[in-house]
Amino acid sequence: MARQVFHVSPQDDGKWRVKPQGGGQTAQVFENKDEAVRHAKEKAQAAQLGEVILVHRRDGRIEYAVVAA
């Protein structure tokens, strides 16, 4: 089983999206960045393998990564 990667990224409307990398799962939208990162960490920690969360800046570049074991 491969690690799953979650992307936390801003939307044009000011909200933040958590989207699993790859297909099959729907993105979830949150009012602010803190809520989105918290949700991504919870999803990652619930997985069988540790997972990676990539948090993007408004310009699309990766701001930082979190490895949740």
Structural domain for 47, as ranges: 5-68
Reported as a single tens digit per residue, the pLDDT across 43-62 is 888 877 767 788 999 888 98
The model's pTM is 0.82
* 29 within 8 A of 7, measured Cβ to Cβ: no
Please state the domain count of the chain. 1
Q: Which helix (H) or strand (E) holds 33?
A: helix 33-46
Reported as a single tens digit per residue, the pLDDT across 11-36 is 999 999 999 887 677 899 999 999 99
Residue 23 structure tokens: 């297909």
Residue 26 structure tokens: 């729907």
HEC sequence for 35-66 = HHHHHHHHHHHHCCCCEEEEEECCCCCEEEEE
